[in-house]
Amino acid sequence: MSKKTIYTVFTDKQALFAEMVDYCFDKIKESERMVMEDESLPTVEKLRKVLGVMPEGYQEIDLRQIYPLKNKFPDIYRKVEERLENGWEQVIELLRRGMAEGSIREVSIPLFKMIFEAAVEQFFQRDILVVNELSYTQALNEVVCILVDGIVLTENESNRKE
């Protein structure tokens, strides 16, 4: 598509980027909904999938390029931050359900949320992914494993609790 055609739809780069951010996050929410509706998945597996959800076709996008937007397009960067900080209802529901059913240890939900958000934000703000030759998807999966495996009750802990 030519620039001329793009600018018949979008007034400027900022408008184009804003639409792309909304589209990407809307697709993530759609994928989350599909995970939540999958009755075959136990709570912990749903939590793992919802936290690490990346819609089909987005795995190859280099999300490490988001941080450079901070200086050139601060409004767009704020929009990305805002979308990351909101929409946690599904995760909170799964954490509460897991704690109630005994598959997840009692944790502070606000602290869990803050740790996850901080980790993802660091992907954008530092060159840790580039230096370690990790894609955003690989890094996100690793953070999810660390957080989820750190809150899942082991069989011994579960037996002691009873």
Q: What is the pLDDT of residues 92-138, one digit of tens each?
A: 999 999 999 999 999 999 999 999 988 887 877 767 777 888 877 88
**CATH code, 3-161:** 1.10.357.10
Cβ atoms of 55 and 31 within 8 Å: the answer is yes
The per-residue pLDDT for 18 is 86
First and final CA of the chain: distance in angstroms?
Answer: 62
**Using CA atoms, how far apart are residues 29 and 33, in angstroms rounded to an integer?**
6
The per-residue pLDDT for 55 is 54
pTM recorded for the entire structure? 0.75
